[in-house]
Amino acid sequence: SQQGEEDPQALSIQEGENATMNCSYKTSINNLQWYRQNSGRGLVHLILIRSNEREKHSGRLRVTLDTSKKSSSLLITASRAADTASYFCATRGANSKLTFGKGITLSVRP
């Protein structure tokens, strides 16, 4: 069963707006990662945040982690049409496996 649950399931915004996506999980983690999947392609790693970190930035991406609430958020600032994709959160626990959520479909309108 999925560890991560993303919210919302679908998001539609105008180019230039910010997009915020949330992820909740159930058990303790070593790290949480966000991936992007363009239509018909494999997943591409975006950013990783460790369990002892609260916030991380990478270009237009900002990820936060609240281990007390078992939740994370991904913010994409100044969105572009090219950001249109599905976004997945994935958690890594004590073993070597990543557990993925069901994904969020982001549409950025030009």
Contacting residues toward other proteins, per CB under 8 A: 1-2, 30-31, 33, 35, 40-45, 48, 88, 90, 92, 96-103
What are φ and ψ of residue 10, in 5° steps?
-145, 145
Pick the closer one to other proteins by CB: 57 or 78.
57
Contacts of 106 by beta carbon, 8 Å cutoff, 6+ apart:
10, 11, 12, 13, 19, 21, 76, 79, 83, 84, 85, 86, 87
Pick the closer one to other proteins by CB: 67 or 105.
105
Pick the closer one to other proteins by CB: 45 or 80.
45
Least separation in angstroms between residue 16's CB and other proteins is 29
Least separation in angstroms between residue 63's CB and other proteins is 14
Least separation in angstroms between residue 29's CB and other proteins is 12
Least separation in angstroms between residue 108's CB and other proteins is 21
